[in-house]
């Protein structure tokens, strides 16, 4: 299957682990939602299959290995949504930073907005992706409840976050805060250069803590789109501005922005998923970098 080749063919061992406490293990799982389908030209409708890269805290030295024995959990879960016409692979350094800090990270490939989608990526399918996020959460928790397998007992169901970048940020934002997509199991959200889905109501109910990140020189997602939803979001909320930063690089490989995003997001997750003492102060220390980044409530 084309989607699986995109993930499995990526040289994941080259990704950094972010200098966290844990080594990082990796598995790839295909989750199929038979209750929903995708429509393809000149083909029969097909169930929505989400090939999902799962990174998890593992035993051993800080390096990434497929199928490595997991560390003793349970850990919080972060479900990550990739942007349009990319896969989770470009974000691996950031995803590894979360996993090495003690989180299980699940990054599905959306069936119609990735580069290998039949006929090319179709951005109109974005409206179906929040349900994909909730479906992946449910399937991972099902694996967590099973008596055997790498995911067995690895996840704390009371500690779940969503994250995403660009159209993936839009997907994660809708999953956490928009009716009728909102998933009440979500305890925190990290939105990287995302925006609202037009015509959808947001923040009609109290939502989880929010970390919004936005580059001020982003030409794809205008900063005003982030500022607009951030103003209406309930507290606790934090806005990380990356001064002079573009759309994608701060979340893939562009330093010093990527390092700031890693440190602030890990501290945010530590505060609102793990409730670690001092995590909020680490957020402020990591987010205030003269000429690079500013953090505001």
Please enumerate, as own/partner, the contacts of 198-207 that have beta carbons within 8 Å and a separation of 24 or more: 200/174, 202/173, 202/174, 202/177, 202/178, 202/229, 202/232, 203/177, 203/229, 203/232, 203/233, 203/234, 204/179, 205/179, 206/234, 207/176, 207/177, 207/182, 207/233, 207/234
Structure confidence at residue 96 (pLDDT):
97
Per cent of the chain over pLDDT 70 is 92
CA proximity to 28, closest of 45, 4, 10: 4
Residues 179-190, mean pLDDT to the nearest whole number: 96
| Parent domain of 9 | 2-296
Please tell me the total count of domains within the chain. Answer: 1
- State yes or no: pLDDT of 3 exceeds 80: no
Give pLDDT tens digits for 232-277: 999 999 999 999 999 999 999 999 999 999 999 999 999 999 999 9
CA proximity to 57, closest of 69, 39, 42: 69
Give pLDDT tens digits for 35-58: 998 887 777 888 999 999 999 999
CATH number at residue 83: 3.40.50.1820
Q: pLDDT tier at 60 (50, 70, 90 boundaries)?
A: confident
Q: pLDDT tier at 62 (50, 70, 90 boundaries)?
A: low
């Amino acid at each position: 299957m084309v989607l699986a080749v995109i993930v499995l063919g990526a040289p994941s061992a080259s990704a950094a682990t972010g200098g966290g406490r844990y080594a990082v293990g990796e598995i790839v799982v295909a989750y199929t939602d038979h209750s929903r389908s995708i429509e393809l030209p000149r083909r029969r409708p097909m169930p929505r299959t989400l090939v999902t890269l799962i990174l998890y805290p593992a035993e051993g030295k800080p390096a990434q290995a497929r199928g490595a024995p997991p560390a003793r959990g349970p850990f919080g879960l972060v479900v990550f949504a990739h942007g349009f016409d990319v896969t989770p692979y470009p974000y691996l350094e950031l995803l590894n930073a979360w996993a090495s800090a003690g989180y299980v990270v699940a990054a599905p490939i959306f069936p119609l907005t990735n580069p290998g989608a039949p006929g090319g990526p179709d951005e109109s399918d974005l409206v179906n992706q929040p349900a994909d996020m909730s479906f992946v959460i449910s399937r991972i928790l099902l694996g967590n409840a099973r008596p055997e397998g790498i995911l067995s007992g690895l996840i704390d169901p009371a500690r779940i976050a969503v994250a995403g970048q660009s159209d993936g940020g839009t997907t994660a934002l809708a999953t956490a805060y928009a009716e009728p997509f909102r998933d009440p199991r979500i305890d925190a959200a990290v939105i990287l250069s995302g925006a609202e889905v037009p015509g959808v109501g947001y923040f009609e109910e109290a939502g989880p803590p929010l970390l919004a990140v936005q580059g001020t020189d982003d030409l794809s997602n205008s900063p005003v789109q982030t500022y607009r939803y951030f103003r209406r979001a309930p507290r606790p909320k934090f806005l990380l501005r990356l001064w002079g930063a573009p759309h994608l690089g701060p979340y893939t490989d562009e330093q010093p922005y990527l390092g700031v995003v890693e440190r602030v997001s890990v501290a945010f997750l530590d505060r609102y998923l793990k409730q670690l003492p001092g995590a909020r102060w680490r957020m402020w220390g990591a987010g205030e970098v003269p000429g690079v980044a500013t953090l505001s409530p």
